[in-house]
Each structure stands twice: as C-alpha cells, then as structure tokens.
Amino acid sequence: MFMRTVPAYSEQALVMLDVVNHFGWTRVSVLATNDVNGRNFLSNLWPAIQRRNIKVEPYYPFEPGNSFLIRFHLQNLAKSATRVALIYGSKEDCLTVAMEAQRANLSSSFVWIFNDLVISEMSSVSTALNYIPQGAIIPRLKHLDDTEAHLMDAIRAVKYSYQSMIKKTQTAKLASERASATPGDASGTMSFDRSTSRSALSQNDLLNLKLATFGDPAPTPKECGGEGAHWADGQKYLKELKMFKQNPAETGDLAFNTESGDRLNSEYEILNLRTSSPYLVPVATWTSATGLVPNPDEKVIWPGGSTVKPQGVVVSKHLKIVTAVTEPFVNKMRAFPNRKCDNILKNQADVPRDAHAVPCSLPPFGGQK
C-alpha cells in the first residue's frame, strides 16, 4: 500500500471520455500499451464507456516499443469508420504513434487524444510539433511539474496524520485510565467515578497532552521484509493517512482514495496543440466534481487547422451490391469496356449465357449523381 499526491495515470481515461462525450462522438478507437499501466487504463476505460454509451471500434493493444505493430494497427485504423483515436502509452510510444501516423498521412484525418506523457520531459514543446498532429487534445494534470508543491503536500500529510494518530491514542488511553480510577486509589490518581470521567476531561486537556505522558509509539521497522518488518501502529497510521484532507493544499484540494491510496479531487487542463506560440492552449478544465468545463475564450483548432468540430466518423462512399444468380430472374453477363448497364440490357442477345457479372454504374435514387 502506498499513498501519493498525484492520481494514477489511468484516471486520464475518464478525462478522455468526458472530452469525447462533450463533443458528441459515440465511437472511438483505442491504441494502448499492453503492460500494467495500459491494462489499468483499460480497467478504468471499459466501465466508463458503458456508462456513457460510447463504442470502441476497434481496440488495438501493442507491446511497448513495438513500432512494427503500431504501424500495422494504424493501417487497420485507416480502414475503420471512426475518426477519433485515444492513445495511451509512454512518452516514447505516444511519439511513435504520432510519427507513424504522420508517415501514413493520417495526422489530419483523425481527432487525436493523447495522455499527458506525450509532452513530458521534453526540452521544448516545439520538439513535439515535429511529430504530434496539430489540433491534438492532451489532458494534463495541473501542478504536474511543481515538485516543491507536491513535496510540501506530502510532508503535511505525513506530519498531521502522525499527530492525529498520537492524539487519538492519548485520548483513548487517558479516558481509559480515568474511567477505571476509583476513590482512594493507591496510585494517587485523581478520584472520580465513571459517570463523571468524560465530562471532567475537556477536549483541550486531551489535545494538549505531551507524547511523554504515555510513552513513544511502537518503533518503526528497520527493514522491509522478515519478522522485523511489522509495525504495530502501522495500520493506525495508514488509516489516518487515508482520512487526511486539506482544502486547499499547495496543489489544490487534497484527499485520498481509502482503497487505492490514489489522490482524489484531481484537476486537469485540456490542452490543444497549435503550430504557433503558445503551442499548448488550455481550451477546457476538468475535475471529478465538475467534469469538463470549456474555456469560453478559446476555440479548439482541429487537425488540418479547422475550427469546425469533426463528425468523428467517416461514411463510406463505396457501395457493393451482391446478388445471387437465379435465372431467368437474375442473369450474369460479361462486362464490356465503356458499356453501362442500360446499354448491356438492350443487347442481351450478344452476351454469352456463361459470362461474368457486370459492374453497373447507375445513378442513385432520384437521379442525383
């Protein structure tokens, strides 16, 4: 069990889906690494997709660093009907997806939504412009690079959780001693009966007791394994850490998930990648409480430089009609160069009975081309 002042990277699945939901898209493709982080991302993604009535068509897993498989998946992605792609992976894998998409001329054909690792640890954002498609959407955790602020929050959580554990231990022991005291006790303890013990003990008395009153807590273990690794007060301290809250803290409202230990109340900026400075423009914010809130002062620049929201799907214009040969109702005839269906039908006598099927070029219903 561990605690951290940043949320799990997999939480970005919820942010990405809220972006998709906000723009009214109902189909997405997902490319994610087939590792622990990728599977955690998907474990958050699948339940949220079902709640939002979004379909994944299709899902492409790939091994970290496998550029060949990424290239193969992008070839299949180009044939799919969806035009919204969610990308999750390390910085290197995300950049590989961006580079391969660029080589396949897919950069301006899709809405690309990357996790924030794609812009982490870069010397400058201009470096990313060589690979990441213009108009890409990137959720980025607020205060992500403010190490000092996260360190201050962590120290406060450790300090005040420990103090809270000590105070509660002191309160319980002192109340127990006074409640069990009897008149004339030889120990010299103040005499009072059980009915008055709690009222006679003020809250300030309890909170101001020194640690020396009841001795030091159990010593912490000196090693991570073996018989000496157990800390008698460890579970008490962990419980206090889970319950720690500070509003606001250095990095926003701070609280923890009591099961996973991950941070709650995280805040994200939804960044839109541009080709000119400022390269990363916040077009919305996201919190678990409010969801996605658009920035009214900024419009999203989509791939290709358009400000018109993409449909998110492509409608195929290639129609194939297949019919079974059932003579005399359906016949097959040989196709001739520069001949259309109406001409062939007028000259059926010239066509052999065992000819191949004819590809017809007929206008759609209503005579429109």
Which pLDDT band holds residue 188 (cuts at 50, 70, 90)?
A: very low
Question: Residue 228's pLDDT is what?
Answer: 55
For 194, the enclosing helix (H) or strand (E) is helix 194-200
* Angle separating helix axes 12-22 and 36-52, nearest 10 degrees: 30
Task: Quickly count: other Cβ atoms within 10 Å of residue 205's Cβ.
Answer: 11
pLDDT, tens only, 101-149: 999 999 999 999 999 888 876 544 556 677 888 899 999 988 888 889 8
Name the β-bridge partners of 162.
none
Q: What is the mean pLDDT of residues 305-316?
A: 87
CA distance 249 to 247: 6
For 11, the enclosing helix (H) or strand (E) is none
Question: Beta 111-114 vs 84-88: how paired, if at all?
Answer: parallel
Q: What is the mean pLDDT of residues 6-21?
A: 90
Whether the pLDDT of residue 367 is over 80: the answer is no
Question: Residue 96's pLDDT is what?
Answer: 92
CA count, 13 A, side-chain hemisphere, 293: 10
Nearest to 110 by CA among 20, 204, 12, 237: 20
Mean pLDDT over the full length of the chain: 78
Which pLDDT band holds residue 338 (cuts at 50, 70, 90)?
A: low
Whether the pLDDT of residue 190 is over 50: the answer is no
User: Is the bond leading into 58 cis (omega within 30 degrees of zero)?
Assistant: yes
